[in-house]
Structure 1
Amino acid sequence: MLSVLKKRYIIPVAAAGILYVGASFKDNLFEVAKQIEIFTTLFKEVNMNYVDEINPAAIMDKAIKGMLADLDPYTVYFNEQDVVKFKINSTGEYTGIGAIINRKEGKLTIVEPYKDYPADKAGLKAGDEIIKIGDINLSDFKEDVGQLLKGAKNAKIDITYLRQGKTLKTELTLNEVALKAVPFFGMSDNKTGYIVLSQFNVKATTETKAALESLKASGATQIILDLRDNPGGLLNEAVNICNLFVPKGEVIVTTKSKIQKHNNTYMTTRDPVDTQIPLVVLVNGKSASASEIVAGALQDLDRAVVVGSRSFGKGLVQRPVDLTYGTQLKITISRYYTPSGRCIQALDYLHKDKDGKAVRTDATKYNEFKTRKGRKVYDGGGVSPDLEMDETKHSAIVEALVKNNGIFDFATEYYYKNPNLGGKIPTISDADFSSFKQFLKREKFTFDTETEMALKETLAAAKKEKIDDGIMQAYQQLLTALEKSETVLLDKSSTQIKNLLRDELIKRYQYKEGLYDYYIKNNPEIKRSTALLNNSAEYQKFLN
């Protein structure tokens, strides 16, 4: 009986603690107290009186996560299990299988195995669908499957998987996986050094500095820093990366909040490596957070030319807060601002459209700021490059192909039909592109455009109302017209699609390392950046 009472009244007690703490920060104390009292009374009554046995922890978990979901996607609650599963390990080291995996629509697919790590050594390849781990069938497993692929170093795990319709088995041996912040660096020509910085973990500055010094020793007199697809990471590492190229005492980023203690200015504190070496920073729509701090600061300080396309626009700062019983809250506390005063954040989560989506600032309402030398730069979210390249932008049809695995799935089929390419660079011919379009049709690929979704919803509603027979002919005509339109759009984006297919296939045959080797001499953004650095007058023109 005591345990039942504890279970039923622990939330009100905990809530009282929240009220006490919250009171010191809230002016509207009465409204906070009122809402908490309503909630705890409701929770208690449901727990005591509902007709069936309920799970109080599960209900509370959903209630909290639902409440936070209305704020922004970065303010999240971790229950005890979440803390263990999702707590970020900023060292870049963990014990696991050494592969990117994706669980979508109940399927667990290998997206990319890392060379010489457990998944690769076990023979797993991109496109393999894991259907059984040990004795557990994944079709029956509704929890976080990632936990089944973790364990002690050298632990062995039996894996059953599907590959091109065949059921195969292998044994994985777990090992430490150390992800590099700088997975590649080299020379794009005899004087241009190229550094890929893929994440801002605790190794970011150390590895970037080592790469920079190595390239300079090899004759590099100018540098390309590639931050494309870098999702960000540790703030102090972003500041220290900038410090490699700017003097001690420079303001790199400020954070602003309604709470005074969260208003901070972050400055460089170390001796730089080289404050004069010409520098280009590459960004794209997947460069976020810490990547945007680096790109924005170096742009505002007129220290680098930014090349590519507008970055993601993630300028909200989070901090973890430990709660009771091993739970945790990651909460947005402030916004990032570049040295010129630009806000990096693109979406306004306080203001949402009729579909409940956060509003993006209209381009006509961007505010003008000035770099140190007086160049005009603008806010609106993210960092807009000094030299914008169309090659870095994906059309809507290409975004759909990437999002819904059209590129990935065709590459898987192509790989097994052409197993002997080895170290050769795949060439995607017009015939291959035609095969790709046929593949999409055969697999009934859906682009999920707004028009396509609306058409499907109309048919579903018609079937529900039993009037679908009357509109079926018109529906088929619209569907045919839509498919023709999508085919036209595919043809218009054929060059971009071919390039994405080639890049995906290079990873299949030569891992990510092979893709970097190819990029350094052939990627349009890198080639353009190299040419810009080799033309001193053009380079300086961007900075003056």
Structure 2
Amino acid sequence: MQFSLKKIGVVLGCTIVLISIYAFGNRYFQISKNLDIMAAAYREVNTSYVDETDPSKLMRNLIDGMLKTLDPYTNYFSQSQVETARMEQTGKFGGIGIKVDIFDGVAVITQVEKGLPAYENNLKPGDRILEIDGTATKGKSKDDIERFLRGQPNTTLNLKIEKVVGENQYESKTLNLTRLETQETNVPYFGMITDNTGVIRLKIFNENAARDVRHAFDSLKRTNPNIKSLILDLRGNPGGLLQEAVKIVNLFIPRNQLVVSTKGKVAEWNTTFKTLDDPLDTKIPVAVITDNMSASASEIVSGSLQDLDRGVVVGQRTYGKGLVQITKNLNYNTVLKVTTAKYYIPSGRCIQAINYAERNADGSVKHIPDSLKVAFKTKAGRTVYDGGGIDPDIVLPKKELSKIAQQLISKHLIFDFATQFALKNKTIASAKDFKLSESEFDGFLQFIKNKDYSYTTESENLLENLKEAAEEEKYFNAIKEKYEAIKTGLAHNKQQDVLNAKAEIKTLIEAEIVSRYYFAPGFEQRQMLEDERVAKALEILNNTAKYTEILSAKK
């Protein structure tokens, strides 16, 4: 009997091996077969199609079409795009230190970075870029213009610009600037938000993000011995380098703690990432602020600190990107960035929100429903869930700007007013103390008086829909008088709308003006002063009992 069992075991083992070999061989046969079919179809189209074809364009469309069926993060980069891929991966590029946007078809400088060539050549927000190296910017997209501005470090860039010198007044200039190697700033601002609470704004996880956060935190501790708590602001942070996220968690967590693991189809590529260094501070209370655009590495940091009960997460549910990509070099200096794994944070959960493998009948992606989410436990025994980003411990609704504020921004009127203000005022108070006076706000009202910033309210849209439906059903004549009366009642006074939203609009104007004198750090500092999410984080950090309760398992 024992011999028979051994024989059965050997037979079963051999069968499993043979099945595995067959499956492996069959898979590669299918790959080889379909490559042959694709090559034959591609060759025949290029040879036989009635009109001339572009072989490179056809192949690009073929590759892009294939990758589109997978996920948005698996991308192919042609030889000409490899530099873009490198910049995406490292965050480093040759540039002159400006950001641009398109205002009514014109390329306008919206931000200048202190210390870089644009700043040294007196370029300012509001200046227009007409040509870059002889190429007109009119009709070009924002992405096109940013690509023209970037290049290899130490190369020369020729700009034809119009410097703003007054309202609707410009002075033409031609400049030659040398690009310098630069990198999008990881930490645009850090400082003390109150006498005993520091804040670090982490914008992206580029190379050296952990070093920058360590420097910021260490500086806050050295210059403010009374610091008792810390806010880490990850709002709008799309992520970046995974290793940087692990190192940032390590600032608050002892060495040898698992932070994230990656698991994919190829088991040999599965990896675990643990903290390797001594932490900077394992005791200081931490609040992490997130929103629905905090993704990837941001979710590793916020999720790990939540799973290890090391910090309170405040704000909105994060984006839900739990996929890992690597780059593969292909022939002819081309590159494939491909998703190879999902990542899992300390509790064992994966926070990927979209299931790209199983799509709806129409090809659209599926979000993982709340009913299918699985519960996990934090180190202290709190319940957390997978499959949809990081749910904050304290959930705050998304704050929407008023319609009138949105319109003033979209029409660039707040931006344009700040440009004129900076032309007339050489200095202002500190970023923290600057306030727009009543007479200056009256000046803003005069500035926008004859400008178009009209908009349609939701009520007006609904009324117009009612009119269209009534006309289609031949009822409109019967309700016409009532319709006109309601329309008149809903009509809004733009100037009054501005006054009704005065506090909100003043805050926006002040932040924009501060950015002209104190650049990105001043803008970030100014925005935090009246930020509801920062205020909520402070409230929790200042209440030791509440902070401890949130991080404790419910009995």
Band the TM-score falls in, shorter-chain normalisation: 0.7 to 0.9
Residue aligning to 1:412? 415
Q: How many Å apart are 1:371 and its aligned residue?
A: 0.9
Q: How many Å apart are 1:43 and its aligned residue?
A: 1.4
Residue aligning to 2:395? 388
1:179-231 per-residue CA deviation (whole Å, 9 max, x = no partner) reads: 43223222222222222222222211222222222222231232222222222
The answer to whether the aligner puts 1:442 opposite 2:452 as a matched pair is: yes
CA contact (8 A) 1:131 1:162 kept: no
1:133-181 per-residue CA deviation (whole Å, 9 max, x = no partner) reads: 2322234779944443245427242223486655543425234224432
Give distance in 2, aligned partners of 1:28 and 1:507.
Answer: 57
Alignment of 1:153-172 (within 5 A): 153=154, 155-161=156-162, 165-166=168-169, 168-170=171-173, 171-172=175-176
SS where residue 66 of structure 1 aligns? helix
Q: Which residue of the other structure, out of 200, 204, 210, is the alignment partner of 1:205?
A: 210
CA contact (8 A) 1:428 1:502 kept: no
Give distance in 1, aligned partners of 2:270 and 2:183.
Answer: 34
SS where residue 350 of structure 1 aligns? coil
Q: Which residue of the other structure, out of 251, 268, 273, is the alignment partner of 1:266?
A: 273
Residue aligning to 2:546? 538
Would the alpha carbon gap of residues 214 and 139 (structure 1) be closer, same or farther in structure 2, given more than 3 Å must change? closer
Deviates more, 1:358-367 or 1:332-341: 358-367
Q: TM-score, normalised by structure 2?
A: 0.77
Would the alpha carbon gap of residues 217 and 434 (structure 1) be closer, same or farther in structure 2, given more than 3 Å must change? closer
SS where residue 288 of structure 1 aligns? coil
Residue aligning to 1:300? 307
Q: Which residue of the other structure, out of 528, 531, 537, is the alignment partner of 1:529?
A: 537
Q: How many Å apart are 1:41 and its aligned residue?
A: 1.6
Would the alpha carbon gap of residues 446 and 242 (structure 1) be closer, same or farther in structure 2, given more than 3 Å must change? farther
Count of matched residue pairs? 501
Give distance in 1, aligned partners of 2:190 and 2:388.
Answer: 29
SS where residue 220 of structure 2 aligns? helix
CA contact (8 A) 2:192 2:198 kept: yes
SS where residue 540 of structure 2 aligns? helix
Give distance in 1, aligned partners of 2:279 and 2:342.
Answer: 27
- How many percent identity over aligned positions? 34
SS where residue 514 of structure 2 aligns? helix
Give distance in 2, aligned partners of 1:166 and 1:355.
Answer: 52
Give distance in 1, aligned partners of 2:34 and 2:498.
Answer: 53
Give distance in 1, aligned partners of 2:503 and 2:369.
Answer: 30
Q: How many Å apart are 1:278 and its aligned residue?
A: 1.4
Alignment of 1:189-338 (within 5 A): 189-218=194-223, 219=225, 220-338=227-345
CA contact (8 A) 2:327 2:335 kept: yes
Residue aligning to 2:75? 76
One-letter code of the match for 2:324?
A: V
Q: How many Å apart are 1:354 and its aligned residue?
A: 6.9
Q: How many Å apart are 1:533 and its aligned residue?
A: 1.7
Q: TM-score, normalised by structure 1?
A: 0.78
Would the alpha carbon gap of residues 405 and 435 (structure 1) be closer, same or farther in structure 2, given more than 3 Å must change? closer
1:488-539 per-residue CA deviation (whole Å, 9 max, x = no partner) reads: 9999998767655553443245322212332454433223322322221111
Would the alpha carbon gap of residues 73 and 111 (structure 1) be closer, same or farther in structure 2, given more than 3 Å must change? farther
CA contact (8 A) 1:323 1:329 kept: yes
One-letter code of the match for 1:228?
A: R
Unaligned runs of 5+ in 2: 1-21, 473-479
Give distance in 2, aligned partners of 1:189 and 1:426.
Answer: 19
Q: How many Å apart are 1:299 and its aligned residue?
A: 0.4
CA contact (8 A) 2:99 2:112 kept: yes
Q: Which structure: larger Rg?
A: 2
Give distance in 1, aligned partners of 2:512 and 2:33.
Answer: 56
Q: How many Å apart are 1:273 and its aligned residue?
A: 1.5
CA contact (8 A) 1:245 1:275 kept: yes
Would the alpha carbon gap of residues 65 and 125 (structure 1) be closer, same or farther in structure 2, given more than 3 Å must change? farther
Q: How many Å apart are 1:247 and its aligned residue?
A: 0.8
Residue aligning to 1:516? 524
Q: How many Å apart are 1:116 and its aligned residue?
A: 3.2
